[in-house]
Structure 1
Amino acid sequence: MDTGTHIVMGLALGGIATLDPIVTADPQTTHAVIIGTLIGSQAPDLDTILKLRNNAQYIRNHRGITHSLPAVLLWPLLITAVISFFFPAANVLHLWIWTFIGVILHVFVDIFNAYGTQALRPFSNKWVALGVINTFDPFIFLIHLVGIIIWQLGAHPGYTFFTIYGVLFLYYIIRYYLRRQVKLKVRSIIDNVTDIIISPTYRFNQWHIAVVTDQFFYVARAKNNEIMIQDKFYKRPIPDTPVIKAAVKDKNLAAFLSFSPVYRWEVDEYDDHYDVRFIDLRYRSKGHYPFVAVVKLNLKLEIMNSYTGWIFSEEKLQKKLEFIPS
């Protein structure tokens, strides 16, 4: 989920914690637990700072080790130790329990996005991505805001958010059902399907779809369970050529390939260089595919420059390639 949603979820969990009599028995414990749930709900996204380094590091590592099983165990211990220093009278056990729940909640809700997490590390590096909820879901965010306002107006936060989370449980079931219906509809109109990648949008009943068959890639959109095919590409294996072999050694392209499950590729030869481009097919927007990896090589197959990330015009892409060193 997005940062804002994780913040309101942390506050909501702090509200639910007031149902714990140990938490409400002591003001220090109450304050410590609310801070713990808030920080715990944010901690796994500490890897976002990698974006300051470069996109390749961010793509390779975001929602990776910081969302893994060892991290889920370590974050609550670290957070509890720090908070206990400032609130020495707080109940350490219950502070740890609620902080632990905050961390688990963060990783759990991220699994329902199309981006997903590597939550099964170190046992598996597979990305767990259910594609049920958009990274930002207006309903989830707004219902949390409503709960916070009701809390501020004097209602009991525990019962308020317990009720809201009951509603959200039903909401997730409905979203899962809708996604399943889209998947069934795709299989009914496209033959020889080997994989379907469905990405939710912020609109309740609209979805981005990438379909893999034995011969083609299809890019489609679902609206109210109606499937609209937007593009169709021949499924071409990556060629074993000197240009491609040189390009895949680049850190940006390697990061793209480690993350993207469905893409097409292009190789263009110019008078003084080669342009190798890989295009993710999951995120079509207004006829454009904004998530790409591009490598420029000279005629000696030396990497001149490269870029991976979100780009919305060819002009901006060329500017990125001009100023980012390889």
Structure 2
Amino acid sequence: MDTGTHVVMGLALGGLATLDPIVAGSAATATSVMIGTIVGSQAPDIDTVLKLRNNAVYIRNHRGITHSIPAVLLWPLAIVAVVYPFFPEANLLHLWLWTFLAVFLHVFVDIFNAYGTQALRPFSSKWVALGVINTFDPIIFGLHVVGLVIWGVGFDPGYTFLGIYAILIAYYVYRFIRQRKVLREVRTIIPDATDIIISPTMKFHQWRVAVMNKHQFFVGRAHNNEVTILDQFARVKVPESPVIEAAKKDKNLSAFLSFSPVYRWEVDEYDNYYEVKFIDLRYRSKDHYPFVAVVQLDMDLNILSSYTGWIFSEEKLRKKLQILPN
């Protein structure tokens, strides 16, 4: 989820914790738990700072080790170790329990996005992405804000957020049902599909669809369970050519390939350089595919420039590459 949603979830868990008699009976415990849930709901996303280095490092590592099983166990211990000395009268066990819940819930809800997490590390480096909830879901965020307002005007926070989370559980189930309906429709249209990726959007009734069979890629949209195929591409295996093998050694392309499950590729030769481009097919937006990796190499296959990330115009891509126009 986005940072704002994780913040309101941390506050909500602090309110929900007032249903715990140990928390409700101690001001020190209640205050420390509130701090623990707020910090715990943000801690796994500390890897966002990697974006300050470059996109390749960020793409390869974001929601990786910081969202893994060991991290989920270690984050609460680290947070409690910092918070508890300021509140020595707090109940240590309940401080840890609610902080752990905040960290666990952060990682758990991220699994439902299309981006997903490597939550099964170290047992598996596979990305777990259920594609049911958009990274920012207005309904989830809005319900949390409503709960905070209700709390602010004097209602009991524990029962308020208990009710809200009951609604959200039903909402998640409903989203799963809607996604399954889209999946069945896709299988009707493309019965020989080998891989189907359905991703939510900001719009409640719309989904992105990317499909593969043995010979083609299909890209489309679903609206109210009605699927429309917008683009089709021949599925051509990436050749083991010297140009592409050299490009794969680049950190940006390597990061892209570690993350993207469905893409097409292009190789262009110009007067004095090659350009290799890989295009993720999951994020079609206004007839454009913005998530790409591009590598430029000289005629001796030395890497001249490269980029991976979100690009919405060819002009901006050329500026990012800071090298040869095509």
Which residue number corresponds to residue 72 of structure 2? 72
Q: Cα distance, 1:191 vs. partner?
A: 3.0
Counterpart Cα distance in 2 of 1:268 and 1:38: 49
Counterpart Cα distance in 2 of 1:15 and 1:191: 48
Which aligned pairs between 1:16-95 and structure 2 lie closer than 5 A? 16-95=16-95
CA deviations 1:118-157 (Å, max 9, x no partner) are 0000000011100000000000000100000000000000
Q: Cα distance, 1:205 vs. partner?
A: 1.2
SS of corresponding position for 1:18: helix
Q: Please tell me the residue identity of whatever aligns with 2:224.
A: N
Counterpart Cα distance in 1 of 2:104 and 2:191: 39
Q: Cα distance, 1:294 vs. partner?
A: 0.1
Counterpart Cα distance in 1 of 2:224 and 2:26: 51
Which residue number corresponds to residue 259 of structure 2? 259
CA deviations 1:52-109 (Å, max 9, x no partner) are 0000000000000000000000000000010012212111110000000000000000
Counterpart Cα distance in 1 of 2:296 and 2:29: 57
Counterpart Cα distance in 2 of 1:296 and 1:137: 37
Large movers: runs of 4+ above 2 Å: none
Q: Cα distance, 1:11 vs. partner?
A: 0.5
Q: Cα distance, 1:231 vs. partner?
A: 0.3
Which residue number corresponds to residue 216 of structure 1? 216
Q: Please tell me the residue identity of whatever aligns with 2:48.
A: T
Which residue number corresponds to residue 286 of structure 2? 286
CA RMSD of aligned residues (A): 0.9
Which residue number corresponds to residue 191 of structure 2? 191
Which residue number corresponds to residue 268 of structure 1? 268
SS of corresponding position for 2:322: helix
Counterpart Cα distance in 2 of 1:111 and 1:204: 19
Counterpart Cα distance in 2 of 1:101 and 1:66: 16
Q: TM-score, normalised by structure 2?
A: 0.98
Which residue number corresponds to residue 124 of structure 2? 124
SS of corresponding position for 2:125: coil
Which residue number corresponds to residue 309 of structure 2? 309
Counterpart Cα distance in 1 of 2:186 and 2:192: 11
CA deviations 1:24-44 (Å, max 9, x no partner) are 111111100001001000000
SS of corresponding position for 1:297: strand
Q: Please tell me the residue identity of whatever aligns with 1:67.
A: H
| 1:15 partnered with 2:15 | yes
Q: TM-score, normalised by structure 1?
A: 0.98
Counterpart Cα distance in 2 of 1:155 and 1:96: 26
Which residue number corresponds to residue 143 of structure 1? 143
Q: Please tell me the residue identity of whatever aligns with 2:45.
A: D
Which residue number corresponds to residue 4 of structure 1? 4
Counterpart Cα distance in 1 of 2:24 and 2:16: 11
Unaligned runs of 5+ residues in structure 2 are none
Counterpart Cα distance in 2 of 1:207 and 1:74: 36
Counterpart Cα distance in 2 of 1:53 and 1:194: 37
Which residue number corresponds to residue 153 of structure 2? 153
Q: Please tell me the residue identity of whatever aligns with 2:256.
A: F
Q: Cα distance, 1:274 vs. partner?
A: 0.4
Residue identity over aligned pairs, in percent, reads 69
Q: Cα distance, 1:20 vs. partner?
A: 0.5
SS of corresponding position for 1:102: helix
SS of corresponding position for 2:318: helix
SS of corresponding position for 1:193: coil
Counterpart Cα distance in 1 of 2:244 and 2:5: 41
CA deviations 1:273-309 (Å, max 9, x no partner) are 0010000000000000000000000011000000000
Q: Please tell me the residue identity of whatever aligns with 2:216.
A: F
SS of corresponding position for 1:231: strand
Counterpart Cα distance in 2 of 1:319 and 1:126: 33
Q: Please tell me the residue identity of whatever aligns with 1:293.
A: A
CA deviations 1:221-245 (Å, max 9, x no partner) are 0001111111000000001111001
Which residue number corresponds to residue 113 of structure 1? 113
Counterpart Cα distance in 2 of 1:198 and 1:163: 30
Counterpart Cα distance in 1 of 2:276 and 2:160: 54
